[in-house]
Structure 1
Amino acid sequence: MADVVFTAVQKRYGAVEIIPGLDLTIPDGSFTVLVGPSGCGKSTLLRMIAGLEEVSGGSIHIGGEDVTTRDPSQRGIAMVFQSYALYPHMSVADNIGFGLKLSDMPKAEIATRVQDAADTLQLTHLLDRKPKQLSGGQRQRVAIGRAIVRKPKVFLFDEPLSNLDAALRAQMRVELAELHSRIGATMVYVTHDQVEAMTMADRIVVLKDGHIEQAGAPMELYRKPATPFVAGFIGSPKMNFITGEEARKLGGDTVGIRPEHLRITADAQWQVTVRHVEHLGSETLIYVTSDSLGPLTIKTEGDIGIDPGQQVRVGYDSADLHRFKSGARAEVYT
């Protein structure tokens, strides 16, 4: 296991600067998720840790060792990609152990490591099968097993669940979190999906345009977002934002409130018009609007008898408001 330390790291492609100078420490043994929209630099950072992208400036240390110019094979990392990249003619066992075979490791040691990885990932009963006989989730576990047998200092995951359907993604989120708990290794995981970040990470780094907007524990970012960008990116449905005169009345240039913190009551502060209602069983999402507030989303538990076109009153507690000044970080947190 090892920490990963970026010091003034830059990445340029010609005159185009992708990472303008980034400082970040990924703690030893953490499950750190790099999250942000497409083009924010998260995959570039991961690939620089792996040695697949050259560092234009600054340094990267893994476990206290400067690996900035080292080859990928000398960094003590293992990477799991979005594509499973399994050899179709090989069995699961051979796929998991292939990298070890190339390094001339003794057969007995390879067999032991493959068996240990299969036990960890619940693949023991599948070791003789070919990839075409596996489900998507099983194939991804084989790819993870291929990383585990190398016993790396750091595991790197580049959007590994994006090819799976919703049910399998949910299952694999649990399995990856459990895997981290069992082996305790440093894991760095890239995704654009904030649900993946919130459910798996013990630390989230939110990126925007190559800069770190905020880093911290998932619920810290949810409860105390430092910028409107973080506030809007973390949480589902995303935070409501109010601007203009109504925001200034509430004490900010931009004021945010989460959908679950809005309530519909007869004596509430705002009158709005219902645009659309989504009945999701255990909860209901209500989309409303008004001239002074703009569009808002309300999240309530269970079902609720409200129809589009209806006028309702919506309220809030002042403690649930997030007030942001233009160009500054949040002044008031929940």
Structure 2
Amino acid sequence: MSRVELKDLRKSFGAFEVIKGIDLTIESGEFCVFVGPSGCGKSTLLRMIAGLEEQTSGVIEIGGRDVSNSEPSDRGIAMVFQNYALYPHLTVRENIGFGLSLARTPKAEIARKVGEVAEILQLGDYLDRKPKELSGGQRQRVAIGRSIVRDPQVFLFDEPLSNLDASLRTQMRIELTDLHARLGSTMIYVTHDQVEAMTMADKIVVLNGGRIEQVGTPMELYDTPATPFVAGFIGSPKMNLYQGEVARILGASDTYGIRPEHVSLSASEGTWHGTVRHVERLGADTIVHIDCDQLGPLTARVDGARTFAPGEKLFATPDRSREIRF
């Protein structure tokens, strides 16, 4: 049982309230991602769950036990940080087993557990190397292995991939997803990257200004965002959003939204007339930035084989079934 429950959790630094009353349940075995812009409170929230930051008020329960005032070591959690925090003078084997050595675990038991973790993370060939001899992705796997070997109830990840290059981040996303499927453990993951959130999570928690904007599966947030903030934050390129008089003309009381992939383009007819401002060719897709007479800036995602040029006149038509109004 590794369910995590947060009940009216709050955190203030002096008169400034950073976390403004969070109520959230993360079920046992879920991969839950906290996502949001810088300063939204996601890392502070994670650190409170870990016990590294004291909450101002509220309750934190892990596995049905109130750990609000417990030490980090007594919460049954393991945390993986953005920086790997490996001991440079120790081998991979020694780094993974370091916590067990401190706990005076028998050497045979340490060797068995380190061997099991090395197999899970494909580190068997690197156990006698020092961290400086490893790639960034391998170092991060060692840091994860040091957490796994403790057999925690809950894994906490604080932007663990942000120091890796783009190809390694993609690889590590797959590896972490595979690891979750293999272990079946509860994992809570913090990132500012909505692509990481969409590709890894069972449940996404979108945070903004210390509050939860929406909780749901990746596709629930993508297809039915609850607020304009979520609509604009989830998705790349981001949703076209229009407010004020333009939104009211389009039948929305406050905000009208349409995703770039739900806009079709034609040289001869359509709903909105515009001029191509910029074209991004991405191979499989082409992103077309348009100045529309009725709307202003509009972004459309079309097939990569389509060709457009700056200054070209065209028409854009939204898929009426995919429009979102707030």
Q: Which residue of 2 aligns with 1:151?
A: 151
Contact 2:91–2:129 at 8 Å: present in 1 too? yes
Counterparts of 1:246 and 1:237 in 2: how far apart (Å)? 21
Counterparts of 1:244 and 1:81 in 2: how far apart (Å)? 42
How many equivalent residue pairs?
324
Which amino acid counterpart does residue 225 of structure 2 have in structure 1? P
Does residue 86 in structure 1 map to residue 86 in structure 2? yes
1:245, distance to aligned residue in structure 2 (A): 3.0
Contact 1:243–1:293 at 8 Å: present in 2 too? no
Counterparts of 2:108 and 2:298 in 1: how far apart (Å)? 62
Pick from 292, 296, 299 the counterpart of residue 294 of structure 1: 296
CA deviation vs aligned residue, 1:4-23 (integer Å, no higher than 9, x gap): 10001110111111112110
Contact 1:41–1:207 at 8 Å: present in 2 too? yes
Which amino acid counterpart does residue 194 of structure 1 have in structure 2? Q
Q: Which residue of 1 aligns with 2:38?
A: 38
Q: 1:45 aligns to what SS in structure 2?
A: helix
Is 285-294 or 118-127 further displaced after alignment? 285-294
* TM-score scaled by length of structure 2: 0.98
1:107-146 equivalences in 2 (<5 Å) = 107-146=107-146
CA deviation vs aligned residue, 1:134-155 (integer Å, no higher than 9, x gap): 0000000000000000000000
Q: Which residue of 2 aligns with 1:255?
A: 256
1:248, distance to aligned residue in structure 2 (A): 1.1
Counterparts of 1:30 and 1:174 in 2: how far apart (Å)? 16
1:172-187 equivalences in 2 (<5 Å) = 172-187=172-187
Residue identity (%): 64
Pick from 275, 282, 286 the counterpart of residue 277 of structure 2: 275
Q: Which residue of 2 aligns with 1:327?
A: none
Which amino acid counterpart does residue 269 of structure 1 have in structure 2? T
Counterparts of 2:289 and 2:134 in 1: how far apart (Å)? 42
Counterparts of 2:207 and 2:325 in 1: how far apart (Å)? 21
Gaps of 5+ in 1: 325-334
CA deviation vs aligned residue, 1:141-172 (integer Å, no higher than 9, x gap): 00000000000000000000000000000000
Q: 1:308 aligns to what SS in structure 2?
A: coil
CA deviation vs aligned residue, 1:259-304 (integer Å, no higher than 9, x gap): 0000002221000111000111111000011243121111011222
Q: Which residue of 2 aligns with 1:330?
A: none
Counterparts of 1:226 and 1:122 in 2: how far apart (Å)? 41
Gaps of 5+ in 2: none
Which amino acid counterpart does residue 35 of structure 1 have in structure 2? V
Counterparts of 2:13 and 2:242 in 1: how far apart (Å)? 38
Q: Which residue of 2 aligns with 1:25?
A: 25
Counterparts of 1:82 and 1:190 in 2: how far apart (Å)? 10
Q: Which residue of 1 aligns with 2:99?
A: 99
1:251, distance to aligned residue in structure 2 (A): 1.3
* TM-score scaled by length of structure 1: 0.96
1:191-206 equivalences in 2 (<5 Å) = 191-206=191-206
| RMSD value, Cα | 0.8
Q: 1:288 aligns to what SS in structure 2?
A: strand
